Structure 1
């Protein structure tokens, strides 16, 4: 299952506000905290142990962004991570590297701290593993992007994430709160997503996007503070299948609603270029009438959700989602449509993959 996370930046907040936020996120099942030590001053480091203690008491693991300067400030080396262990840190994200020998050594640390490499860079981590790095201690974590129009493209996110997925490494990525006056490690306020196209989407749609790619194990709010509504909406996303919004047509029958909400949907392995087909409902509804209902259109368009009616009895009850224009021949009832802003999710529903709907 995926792990949900938040980001907390103690150097830009107060202990009281941070603790309140952590308690709220924990109540919705969030279990990971990301923070940044790159800009932390000595005072922030002196109180960091109490911050991680509170986080651990609430059930979080704590990941920190680091570089060589942070290591020097703490007196740590790739062969000695004990200063990080004393601070209660569970995951070290390397914003910079220590050369191949140092990067191999850091994965073999006695403190059993997980090491996250930059998932937004094309790193030869397979070469490190061949030369002795411990893959069990290795993960990747994408960057987040404060500046508008600089986040990863869909192609880059997929290519880089697949690179590390094929090495057997888990990956974390960031979504962004859309609340006003949010912040990160620096005074920037345009959100902190990994993927640029996610920057202006609602938080739960950003999460559904990353879950649908099947390339992000951990999904983390990059900026603070997300609202309770955003935390709740992301926590409510079905992590087991691609989840599409659905705007129902008027006049949808109770039987059709059963097909939509009551059946488990999976696409067929013999995929069509014209539609996604969920055929299993045919077994449950083959002996039940689904009266034909005029759609009022000549052709169905991409994203239209259809249920086969009595005019094609053998396939009655099959649920379909149009991928391209299909003429309405009277054998399918139009029961709803995927909202335009969510049509991109259809590209992620591969043959034999599970999918479902959420009410809009």
Structure 2
């Protein structure tokens, strides 16, 4: 799994460099930029793309640039000169429209090539392969959708990903940012419409579930909170904000693993069983452990004493079980992503 950010050349160099530095330190690996955005006027594309390539190399970030035939005019390049973009620090280009199958296939022998995953059909893909397209040098990039209700469905993305994977081509999709949103609408830039109003971390986890190989932040940047969450997601860990009660702070900020034989009703921490602690019975008057309740088995549960669980559904309360805290409402959706063998971490304070 590979994560990237979007850089827009109409933003200031200072803004873009600060975002690149922060992203690189957080584990992001590549940059997407576009050379044919209608709103970007009076941009010296040659100067800016060279600056971007050089700066990206300082932070060890690859750059994929979205181009069209009109973009080549702005850059002062002919099609056959596109491989020289590597001298500018550009790793590859996403070819949106206006190029022939023969041209795209030829370029894949010289640069990394991005196809439009949302529009190309299998017949066109077969033609590209017949022309000599190099799958290992090719990626399929989905679009992002600034206008509400125009993004694609989860089912569509999953099917499109499966199509490209059959040909050995990796896929990429966008999640929205949540700090400074890109204009002109400022309503987020996701690929999937239903991701427009969820957290970037949840959107990224769902894209992972749909076998998306690369995930890119479509908007200008992220809040520190979302950046922290995505750092955990990139590491294969689901971040859950929780209110842990006094005496149970030992479970916070530690990485836990849900059992491989995942239960239907609860998440069970493997590590809590391996590090047994003594927990006396604590009386409670609950009849149910509601969804999101964090519990720890007490001494009355014998060999299960010390096991931490999180209720996925409402279950009957038990005197052999202590209430250790609750998953915060904002993390209940993320909690559902802690599947078989999945790591998770309980965070007791938010990054501002």
Which TM-score band (shorter chain)? 0.7 to 0.9
Question: 1:295 & 1:212 partners in 2: Cα distance?
Answer: 39
Q: Which residue of 2 aligns with 1:315?
A: 304
Residues of 2 paired with 1:353 and 1:219: CA distance? 19
Matches within 5 A, 1:246-257: 246-251=241-246, 253-254=247-248, 257=249
Q: Give distance in 2, aligned partners of 1:160 and 1:242.
A: 26
CA RMSD of aligned residues (A): 3.4
1:137 Cα offset (Å): 0.5
Are the structure 2 counterparts of residues 126 and 343 from structure 1 closer, same or farther at C-alpha, using a change threshold of 3 Å?
farther
Aligned to 1:192: 189
Give the C-alpha shift of residue 36 in structure 1: 0.6
Q: 1:267 aligns with which of 256, 259, 264?
A: 259
Residue number among 185, 197, 218 corresponding to 1:222 in the alignment: 218
After superposition, the Cα gap between the structure-2 partners of 1:212 and 1:347, relative to the gap in structure 1 and judged at 3 Å, is farther
Mapped partners of 1:38, 1:282: distance in 2: 55
Q: 1:281 to 1:153 in 2, by over 3 A?
A: same
Q: CA deviation at 1:130?
A: 5.8
Q: CA deviation at 1:135?
A: 1.8
Residue of structure 1 aligned with 2:240, choices 226, 242, 245 = 245
**Equivalent residue, structure 1, for 2:58:** 57
Q: State the Cα deviation string for residues 154-210 of structure 1 (Å, max 9, x = none).
A: 444444345445655433332333335x425xx231121233343334555555x35
In the alignment, the residues of structure 2 paired with residue 278 and residue 59 of structure 1 have an alpha-carbon distance, to the nearest angstrom, of 36
State the match for 2:2 in structure 1: 2
Deviation by residue 1:120-171 (Cα, 9 ceiling, x = unmatched): 4464387468644222101232221211233343444444345445655433
Q: Give, in whole Å, the separation in 2 of the partners of 1:30 and 1:226.
A: 12
Q: Which SS does the other structure have where 2:228 is aligned?
A: helix
**Structure 2 length normalisation: TM-score?**
0.80
Shift of residue 64 of structure 1? Answer: 0.9
Could you tell me which residue of structure 1 aligns to residue 70 of structure 2?
A: 69
Q: In the alignment, is residue 36 of structure 1 matched against residue 20 of structure 2? A: no
Identify unmatched segments of 5+ residues in structure 1. none
Equivalent residues of 2:229, 2:239 under 8 A apart: no
Q: Name the structure 1 match of 2:209.
A: 213
- TM-score (norm. length: structure 1): 0.78
Q: How does 1:154-165 map to 2 (within 5 A)?
A: 154-165=154-165
Query: Unaligned 5+ residue runs, structure 2?
Result: none
Deviation at 1:298, TM superposition (A): 1.2
Cα distance, 1:213 vs. partner? 3.2
Give, in angstroms, the shift of residue 265 of structure 1: 1.4
Alignment partners' CA distance in 1, 2:13 and 2:155: 39
Secondary structure of the residue aligned to 1:81 is helix
Residue 144, structure 1, aligned to residue 144, structure 2: yes
Structure 1 residue 216, shift from structure 2 partner:
4.2
Contact conserved, 1:29 with 1:235, CA < 8 A, in 2?
no
Q: How much does 1:244 deviate?
A: 3.5
Q: 1:65 to 1:58 in 2, by over 3 A?
A: same
